Amino acid sequence: MLKDKVIIITGAGSGIGRTAAETFAKSGARVIAADLNEAAADATVELIRNSGGEAEARRCNVTDEDDVAAMVAFAVKRFGHINGAVNNAGIEMSNKPVHEMTGKEWRNVIDVDLTGVFYCVKHEVLAMKATGGGSIVNTASSSGIRATMCSSDYTAAKHGVIGLTKAAAIDAAPFGIRVNAICPGLTLTEMTRDRLMNDPTFSVALEGIRQRHIIGRFGETTEIANAMMWLLSDYSSFSTGSSMLVDGGFSI
């Protein structure tokens, strides 16, 4: 599905990002696995190479525009162009009600989960514009569709990602670039298992959140990665500006 396509993935050191990187490589893509944690990015690349795939690691802080520009330039220098990107790097909510959240906590989530996506989209569009187009997938969330308690920072950021995706799709369309968002439900990753599910505030709401996933369970990273792959591929050639729900019915 992605044979010989060059794909950048941020947040590729763990969770959905790592699974996506491995999935794309198995489909024939050449992957740039970017992560703030350089050792984690290296580990993802090692997994891909050990399975016969092609990948390069890159440390990237998505809140630093110069770092993002350098990541994209690295990919273009290494492979000659980029065909696709998944802007997946993100952090969880602060798990505080809006009246208890500090400005620093708010900015931390917005900077990574929204502004970081903007920087990536900007520089990916510039690179794709120069080489004939491509496909960009932004990781939003079911929280971009509806809210949960103690999540005003995360909910605002993910609603922002959906709005950014729509507007960027309009701007990028003349250059043959499609921009879509994917909206996972709660997915079983290191972040959700090790941090959110162990947070007393979040754990109180956990059963209710599970029940709102009408399929009756949380998502697996492979289910999200497969949907991302479709959006990156030519099979989705008539889709742009969309927000694809992969959330077990959470948003119904």
Catalytic residues: 154
- Residue 226 CB neighbours (<10 A): 16
Tokens describing residue 23: 């999935």
How far apart, in whole angstroms, are the C-alpha atoms of residue 208 and residue 220? 19
Strand partners, 180: 137
H/E element holding 116?
helix 116-131
Question: Residues 138, 182: contact at Cβ < 8 Å?
Answer: yes
Q: Which of 106, 187, 94, 96 is nearest to 140 (CA)?
A: 187
- Phi-psi bin for 15: left (phi > 0), alpha (psi -120 to 50), beta? left
